Structure 1
Amino acid sequence: MPSLIDIRRRIRSVKNTQQITRALKLVSAAKLRRAQDRVIAARPYAQSIRELLSNLAAAAASDPDLSASTLLAQREAKRIELILMTSDTGKAGAFNANLTRTADRFIREHEGVAFDIVTVGRKGRDYFRRRNASVPRDYIGVLAKPAYATAAEIGRESVRRFRDGEVDAVYLINSEFKNVMSQKPSETRLLPVALPEPKQGEEPKIIDYIFEQPPLEMLQRLLPRYVEVAVFQGMLETSASEHAARMTAMDAASRNAGDVIDKLTLTMNRARQAAITKEIIEVVSGAAALD
């Protein structure tokens, strides 16, 4: 059995760790509230732009040049750009592992295709650099406070590479925020843009617009903006998911630290009781020897 000094030292060390995990939980809880509000506020805009794209595509369906639109053109996928969003720091449970595992599975499913990994977050960048993957662009420290300007920069460069034929498709893997206890990786094809389609058995909802410009021309201007909005939405979702995952992980760590402290305290009491019993036996034995 370890000595009382060693046990006390371990208890003190675990208590210090518990203070850190509790502080991280409180910080993540405060940040989660703001991040969650931003996600909820941005979702209606993202949904509206998807509906507008669908209506424009329906209005431009009779145009023979629609299928030849640069950002709608379907090409054989020989090189894919994969935008992966992870956190910059750890202590978030399996959050980053789930995202990198999803990216690995996606790459395996496209065997024989070359990949360029664009990472948003340090964990994803480090993971794929250790595996000698092609990481032409990385963005660090942008998910702490997601900004549309950063999302627009990422989206514009991806659109340019697709238009110039450097890549044949662009996909986004990010974490989708459900609630505090549930976040799951999400996979989205950004380019070529997949226009929204009505669900099975549902009549297409078409709004009769009066166009000042040809619908196809408006569609071509709107598609790059749609990509930027999709990237920004992914950043907001991932940021909120990170804080929720870290808050949950740190809460579990704090409770586990409490259990460890209880067990160590019990062990310490038993050791102290054994030491006291031993001293009593020694005193009684000494007294008996004097008689």
Structure 2
Amino acid sequence: MFSRLSNSAARSATLQSRNYATLRDIETRLKSIKNIEKITNTMKIVASTRLGKADRAKTTARVYIANDREVYSHAETAPVEAEQKSNLLIVMSSDKGLCGSIHSQIAKAARLRTAELQGQTVDIVAIGDKVKAQLNRTHSSNLVLAFNGIGKETPTFSDAALISDEILKLGKEYTNVEVFYNKFATSVSFEPTKASVYDAKSIEESPALSQYELDQDAKVPETLAEYSLANAIYAGLADGYAAEISARRNAMDNASKNAGDMISKYSILYNRTRQAVITNELVDIITGASSLD
């Protein structure tokens, strides 16, 4: 009799110990998920706050680039055909993550364009650590320049001008310059976009450029080309920043919702396990009391 009681008590103690261990594991995991939810909610609020400023910068930059393109449209500017084509791809993202596929999509667009230009000289300028890391894995030989510190604050034209100056310091003449950036489409979507930038020779040979009253200076086309490059970079940075902030807000919103769902499931599991522990304790008490009778 005592043997049966001792065996029953041993099994009960083992089960009780297992339930307590499971309960502690669930409690620890539940606490971790709640902490993650707090972080993602905070990041969502921060992104929502920054989005208004990013949207205003994007709108301003689009006015800049629209006026720039209107001038060259009226001047009937077109790329100059060259036997030996040299291409420069300026690819923009940022240094920060946790914003969905926004960095991988623009890197993919740049890789596809590089494949299309196979057989020609292709140099790549990476703006942002995220796109630099992705392109460095597949096109390290094409990377000639990289910038970081991108995405911390709302982009300005001064930022774009500094980047443009560093690119010009490379001292290379390119027959084709293309800027790749994520264009803000809606609050829940973005579009990897390519924009071309005219070089000084293309501007100089524009058929209708004479309709504008320009100084008779040989450096005017070169100055216009430099300004256009800075404009294109500014537009890309501003649009990309707005797209990134919006994508991060959506990503953190989804993460918070998923964390909330997991908290609900683990709370139910915790309560059921706790109930099982209490039930087992009651069974032990009743069994012990019965054995004394």
Identity of aligned residues (%): 29
Paired position in structure 2 for 1:91: 98
Instruction: Identify unmatched segments of 5+ residues in structure 2.
Output: 1-18
Measure how far apart 1:161 and its partner are. 5.7
Question: Which residue of 25, 28, 36 maps to 1:6?
Answer: 25
Paired position in structure 1 for 2:285: 283
SS of the counterpart of 1:5?
Answer: helix
Distance in 1, Cα, partners of 2:72 & 2:292: 101
Distance in 2, Cα, partners of 1:31 & 1:97: 23
Distance in 2, Cα, partners of 1:141 & 1:243: 16
Q: How large is the Cα RMSD of the aligned pairs? A: 2.9
1:179 matched to 2:179: no
SS of the counterpart of 2:180?
Answer: strand
Instruction: Identify unmatched segments of 5+ residues in structure 1.
Output: 59-66, 196-205
> By percentage of residues, which structure has more helix?
2
Paired position in structure 2 for 1:200: none
Question: Which residue of 124, 134, 138 maps to 2:142?
Answer: 134
Higher Cα Rg: structure 1 or 2?
2
Query: Residues 49 and 226 of structure 1 are in contact (CA less than 8 Å); yes or no, is this contact kept in structure 2?
Result: yes
Within 5 Å, which residues of 2 pair with 1:126-205?
126-131=133-138, 132-145=140-153, 146-156=155-165, 158=167, 164-165=172-173, 167-192=174-199
Distance 1:3 1:157, change over 3 A: closer
Query: Residues 64 and 235 of structure 2 are in contact (CA less than 8 Å); yes or no, is this contact kept in structure 1?
Result: no
AA aligned to 2:117 is H
TM-score by length of 1: 0.80
Paired position in structure 1 for 2:82: 75
1:254 matched to 2:256: yes
Aligned length: 267
Distance in 2, Cα, partners of 1:226 & 1:85: 17
Distance in 1, Cα, partners of 2:133 & 2:73: 38
Query: Residues 39 and 233 of structure 1 are in contact (CA less than 8 Å); yes or no, is this contact kept in structure 2?
Result: yes
Distance in 1, Cα, partners of 2:169 & 2:37: 48
Query: Residues 104 and 134 of structure 2 are in contact (CA less than 8 Å); yes or no, is this contact kept in structure 1?
Result: no
Distance in 2, Cα, partners of 1:250 & 1:11: 19
Measure how far apart 1:210 and its partner are. 6.7
